[in-house]
Amino acid sequence: MRNWDMPAIVRSQSTELGAMAGEAAARYRARVDAVLAQRTRLRGEEPLGDLFGGLPPDHPLMIADPRRRLTLTSRQSRNMSSRTT
């Protein structure tokens, strides 16, 4: 449906909703900018470059596999054995 085919009340509501969405987006953008400014004040400038560039290819951070089979830690296995007794 084209805008000029809509009744006047629908057009005005559509325009109002568009304006409200624009205001909400502007408020959100201002909040994000404020958080980034605060983070910069507290932590300093973000480092340039690749944070992981100096790591060897076989470093655990570089070979993480999200589809790996999960294994229980010793703490988890102790908790599991205490539940069964």
Domain assignment present for residue 35? The answer is: yes
Is residue 3 one of the residues assigned to a domain?
Answer: yes
Q: For the chain, what is the domain count?
A: 1
Supply the DSSP symbol for 70.
P
Q: Note the pLDDT tens digit of each residue in 29-75.
A: 999 999 999 999 999 988 888 888 888 988 888 888 888 887 777 77
Q: Does a structural domain hold residue 5? A: yes
d(CA 29, CA 36): 11
Please give the average per-residue pLDDT across 11-16, as a whole number: 62
* Structural domain range at position 20: 1-45
Going from the C-alpha of 17 to that of each of 22, 50, 62, the distances in angstroms are 8, 42, 46
On whether residue 32 sits in a domain, the answer given is: yes
> Does a structural domain hold residue 37?
yes
Residue 51 domain-assigned (yes or no)? no
Residue 57 belongs to some domain of the structure: no
pLDDT digits (tens, 9 = 90+) for 4-13: 555 665 556 5
Following DSSP, what letter does each residue of 18-36 receive, concatenated? Answer: HHHHHHHHHHHHHHHHHHH
Please check whether residue 7 lies inside any domain of the structure: yes
